[in-house]
Amino acid sequence: MPAYTASAPGKVILFGEHAVVYGQPAIAVPVLDVQAKAIIRARPTGEGINLIAPEISLHNQYKHLPLDDAIALAIRLTLDQLKVPELPACTLIISSTIPLAAGLGSGAAVSVAIIRAVSRFLGHLLPDETVNKLAFEVEKLHHGTPSGIDNTVITFSKPVYFVKGEPIAMLEIKLPFMLVIGDTGVICPTSVTVRDVRAAYDADPGRYETYFDLCGRIAGKAASSIRDKRNPALGPLMNDNHQVLQQIGVSSPELDTLVDAARNAGALGAKLSGGGRGGNMIALVEPHTAENVAAALREAGAVNTIITTVR
C-alpha cells in the first residue's frame, strides 16, 4: 500500500514582524533544519481518516474533530478545493521537529504538509500557489488577522521579501549567512501580541504608524544589504529592529536577556523574531562565533538553540 509523504520547513522572520500586518515590508527565511511532516496511507478496511499526531497527543478520527480545529480545516479545505466529498479510509500521521508556538511557523508548516500529502494521495498534488492560499485560510485560525508571511515563506521554502497583498517576491541570498536561533521557552500565542498591538495602535495611531514606518525602512535597508552582499550590515539593522519592537511592546525580559547575551558573545546583531513576548530570538553570527553565541544563549536561559545557514 503506497504511503504519500510531504514536508515543510520552519521559518524565522528576519525583519519587519508586526509592521507587516500594517502593510510594511518584512523579510522571512525558511529554516530547513526543522520540518513538519505528514504521511498518509490508505487502509484496506474500515472507513474515515485516522489522525495521529504524537507531539500534540492527538489520536482521533477526522470526523470527531471540532470545526475550528486547524488540522481538520487543512483537510477540509483540501477536499473542497479538489471537489472530493471525502477521503477513502486512511491514516494520516503528522509529526514535527518545529518547536510549537515559538514563532518558528509550526502551525503553517503542519498545514502545508497536510495539504500536500492529502492532495497527492488524491492524485492531484496542488500547485504551490493553491497550497499557500489554503494554508493562509488555516493561519486565520491561529493568528486572527495574519499577514500571510508565514504560509508564504514555508510553502515556497525560499527567503521572501513580503508585502501584504502584493505579488510574492523572493529574495535571493547571494552570500549565505549564519544565524543562531534561541528559544526563550516562554509560550505566547501570536494572536495575543497581534491583538495587543492592534489595541495600542487604535489608542495612538500616530505613534504606532511611526514605529511601523521605521520597521519598514529597516526591512528595506536589510533587503538592499542582502542584494549587495553586505551581510554584516544586517547586524546593526537587527539591533535597530529589536529596539523598535521593544517600543511597540512585544519584547519581554527573557527575550531582552537572550538578545543581550548574544551580542555580548560576539553576535553582529540580535533581535526577537515573530510574535514576541516569548518564543524565539535570532542572532547574526560568523562561523567562528556561532558555537560561542549558542552556548551563551543556553547559559542565559535558552531552552533550545539552532545554528542555521541562510542561503
Query: Shortest gap between Cβ of 64 and ligand PMV (angstroms)?
Result: 28
Catalytic pick among 69, 80, 128, 150: 150
Per CB under 6 A, the segment of 58-66, 204-212, 238-246, 271-279 that binds ligand PMV is 271-279
Q: Does 150 bind ligand PMV (CB under 6 A)?
A: yes
Query: Shortest gap between Cβ of 250 and ligand PMV (angstroms)?
Result: 8
Q: Does 17 bind ligand PMV (CB under 6 A)?
A: yes
* Residue 33 bears catalytic tag: no
Applying CB under 6 A, which of residues 10, 216, 269, 274 lies at the interface with ligand PMV? 274
Instruction: Looking at residues 175 to 194 of the shown chain, list those that interact with ligand PMV (rule: CB under 6 A).
Output: 190, 194
Query: Shortest gap between Cβ of 274 and ligand PMV (angstroms)?
Result: 3
Query: Shortest gap between Cβ of 280 and ligand PMV (angstroms)?
Result: 8
Q: Does 13 bind ligand PMV (CB under 6 A)?
A: yes
Per CB under 6 A, the segment of 29-37, 47-55, 146-154, 239-247 that binds ligand PMV is 146-154
Query: Shortest gap between Cβ of 194 and ligand PMV (angstroms)?
Result: 5
Q: Does 151 bind ligand PMV (CB under 6 A)?
A: no
Applying CB under 6 A, which of residues 146, 182, 269, 278 lies at the interface with ligand PMV? 146
Q: Does 21 bind ligand PMV (CB under 6 A)?
A: yes
Per CB under 6 A, the segment of 47-55, 71-79, 85-93, 144-152 that binds ligand PMV is 144-152
Applying CB under 6 A, which of residues 75, 135, 149, 297 lies at the interface with ligand PMV? 149
Residue with the three cell numbers 514582524: 17
DSSP-assigned beta bridge partners for residue 40:
4, 92
Distance of alpha carbon 78 from alpha carbon 76, whole angstroms: 5
Applying CB under 6 A, which of residues 275, 278, 281, 308 lies at the interface with ligand PMV? 275
- Stretch 211-250: interaction string toward ligand PMV, x if CB under 6 A: ----------------------------------------
Strands 90-96 and 49-53: parallel
Distance of alpha carbon 79 from alpha carbon 118, whole angstroms: 8
Please give the C-alpha separations between residue 111 and each of 102, 108, 207, 295, 310, in angstroms, as whole numbers: 16, 5, 36, 33, 23
Applying CB under 6 A, which of residues 7, 24, 132, 147 lies at the interface with ligand PMV? 147
Distance of alpha carbon 99 from alpha carbon 34, whole angstroms: 8
Per CB under 6 A, the segment of 72-80, 118-126, 140-148, 206-214 that binds ligand PMV is 140-148
Contact residues: ligand PMV, CB under 6 A? 13, 17-18, 20-21, 103, 105, 143, 146-147, 149-150, 190, 194, 274-275, 279
Active-site residue list: 150
